[in-house]
């Protein structure tokens, strides 16, 4: 919706990775001081806040706001990902540490791929539904087919009556709506994970 090229979009995500690079070396010391559970919970909360903030990002949102949200997300990743791996490794027998490490990495990569695919599918479905509704309100025939062509193939010539510019404007609004739905879902999952992590630690403390 911001009109960035793939290269521009990648460069503008730099705050996410830069914060991870800066914070990650300190995770060991932070874990010793505050414990794995506190860092993981804080990380999931930061990711949730970042994703929730993305729900208000639109075509006119200044990059300073977007960059700040990326930075918060990077902080969340730095706090939660290596800490979660370290916590899992702490339960592994020394002779099986290599196998456990491989399983953790494979699980993380697989989970990331599945999560991106699911959020992408949700985003596409929501954008298509919104664009279909916009086109129907505009009196466009075969609104569903036109919307699917625009969202799935970026084909903006499917409806000559509206013209490419008119269809592009509606597409931008619908695509933003799909993005917001995906980000809200990601935020909810992050907050639920943080709550589950916190509840588990509370129960563990009581039992101990």
Give the number of other Cβ atoms within 10 Å of residue 56's Cβ.
11
pLDDT of residue 207: 64
pLDDT of residue 194: 94
Calculate the average pLDDT of the chain: 88
Run of H or E residues at 89: helix 63-89
pLDDT of residue 162: 62
Residues of the chain with pLDDT below 50 are: none
Run of H or E residues at 112: helix 97-137
Which residues are CB-neighbours of 10 under 8 A, at least 6 positions away?
Answer: none
Give the number of other Cβ atoms within 10 Å of residue 72's Cβ.
22
Which residues are CB-neighbours of 20 under 8 A, at least 6 positions away?
Answer: 74, 75, 77, 78
Question: Taking the domains of the chain in order of start, what are their residue ranges?
Answer: 6-207
Q: How much is the pTM?
A: 0.87
Run of H or E residues at 78: helix 63-89
pLDDT of residue 6: 81
Helices and strands counted in the chain (H then E): 8, 0
d(CA 69, CA 75) in angstroms, rounded, equals 10
pLDDT of residue 28: 87
pLDDT of residue 153: 86
User: If one looks up domain 6-207 in CATH, what number appears?
Assistant: 1.20.1250
pLDDT of residue 205: 64
Gyration radius of the chain over CA positions: 21
d(CA 135, CA 126) in angstroms, rounded, equals 14
């Amino acid at each position: 919706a911001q009109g960035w090229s793939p290269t521009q979009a990648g460069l503008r995500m730099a705050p996410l990775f830069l914060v991870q690079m800066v914070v990650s070396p300190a995770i060991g010391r932070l874990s010793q001081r505050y414990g794995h559970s506190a860092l993981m919970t804080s990380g999931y909360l930061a990711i949730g806040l970042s994703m929730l903030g993305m729900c208000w990002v639109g075509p006119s949102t200044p990059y300073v706001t977007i960059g700040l949200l990326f930075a918060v997300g990077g902080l969340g990743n730095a706090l939660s990902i290596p800490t979660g791996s370290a916590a899992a490794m702490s339960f592994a027998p020394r002779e099986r540490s290599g196998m456990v490490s491989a399983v953790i990495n494979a699980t993380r990569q697989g989970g990331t791929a599945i999560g991106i695919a699911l959020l992408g599918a949700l985003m596409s479905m929501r954008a298509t539904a919104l664009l279909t509704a916009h086109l129907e309100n505009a009196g466009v025939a075969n609104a569903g087919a036109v919307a699917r062509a625009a969202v799935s193939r970026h084909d903006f010539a499917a409806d000559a009556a509206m013209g490419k510019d008119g269809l592009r404007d509606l597409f931008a609004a619908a695509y933003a709506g799909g993005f917001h739905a995906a980000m809200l879902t990601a935020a909810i999952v992050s907050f639920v994970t943080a709550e589950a992590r916190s509840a588990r630690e509370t129960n563990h403390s009581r039992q101990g």
